[in-house]
Amino acid sequence: MQAKDEIAMQVAERRANVEKSMRLYQRAMEKDKESDYERKMELLTEAVASDDRNVYAHMALGIAWHENGDVFRAASAFYRASRLAPNRYEPHYNLGIVLESAGQYGKAIDAYETALELAPGQVEVMENLARCQIRSNVQTERTGEFVNHVLQSEVRPEWRMWLTQQMHSSKCKKE
């Protein structure tokens, strides 16, 4: 019976840590709305320390670190989130953004392709994948397909102009 009690205590402790972590995450998001960056980071760090499996806290940390220019920590947070939520496209997509911003185009393309496999219809993933392929001179027939598809739904004038230029240039292979 002692082992059973010990297991029950461990389960209860784990559950309490998960709940604490989510409360900390929610408070951090409130601080984000208040533009209190330092307190938000403290709360997110505490949330992860309380429950290292809190994918929301890892994602929020990744976004905050990326916005603050800490590419390594941002990539680490998104990588961890991608392992915690392997069926979600967002961690892979965000990892792609960070890697692309660091000039790691090959790795960024891999992350975007994984995101696209998980969410085939996500326009923002297609946009970023096509842009990254074009920047790195690794265009494929799919690059042209992505650009065409994205042009059908894109409303931002600067993106429409860039996408149209890519379709008319030799940078984007056409079928």
Going from N- to C-terminal start, the domains of the chain cover 13-68
Looking at residues 6-11, what average pLDDT do you find?
79
How does pLDDT run across 74-112, given as a tens digit for each residue? 999 999 999 999 999 999 999 999 999 999 999 999 999
**Stated pTM of the model:** 0.82
| One-letter-per-residue 3-state SS of the chain | CHHHHHHHHHHHHHHHHHHHHHHHHHHHHHHHHCCCHHHHHHHHHHHHHHCCCCHHHHHHHHHHHHHCCCHHHHHHHHHHHHHHCCCCCHHHHHHHHHHHHCCCHHHHHHHHHHHHHHCCCCHHHHHHHHHHHHHCCCCCHHHHHHHHHHHHHCCCHHHHHHHHHHHHCCCCCCC
How does pLDDT run across 119-174, given as a tens digit for each residue? 998 989 999 999 899 888 877 778 878 887 777 887 888 877 887 887 777 556 54
Task: Give the model's pLDDT for residue 119.
Answer: 96
How does pLDDT run across 21-59, given as a tens digit for each residue? 999 999 999 998 899 989 999 999 999 999 999 999 999
